[in-house]
Copies of this chain bind each other. A is one copy, B any other.
Amino acid sequence: MTTYVLVHGAWQDGESWDRVRPELEALGHAVHTPTAGGLRPGDSADVGTEDACQPIIDYILEHKLIDFVLVGHSWGGVLIAKIAEALSDRIRRLVFQSAFVLLDGQAVLDNIPPFFPPALQANAEERGDGTVMLPFEVWRDGFMNDATIDLAREVYSHLRPQPLRTFTEPVDLKRFFELPLPKSYLNATEDNGLLQGEWGWHPRMSNRLGYFRLVQMPGGHEVMYTSPKLLATKIVEAGRD
Contact = CB atoms under 8 A, between A and B. Distances in A.
Contact of A141 (B142, B182, B195, B198): B182
A195 B211 contact: yes
Contacts of A215: 145-146, 190
B206 A196 contact: yes
A202 to B, nearest CB: 7
Contacts of A44: none
A62 interface: no
Contacts of A210: 115
A141 B200 contact: no
The SS class assigned to the A binding surface is: loop
A196 B196 CA distance: 14
Interface of A: 115, 137-138, 140-142, 145-146, 148-149, 182, 184, 189-190, 192, 195-198, 200, 202-204, 206-207, 210-216, 218, 237, 240-241
- Copies assembled: 3
A145 to B, nearest CB: 5
B182 A212 contact: no
Contacts of A146: 215, 237
Contact of A212 (B189, B192, B241): B192
Nearest to A217: B218
Nearest to A213: B141
A189 B207 contact: no
A192 B140 CA distance: 29
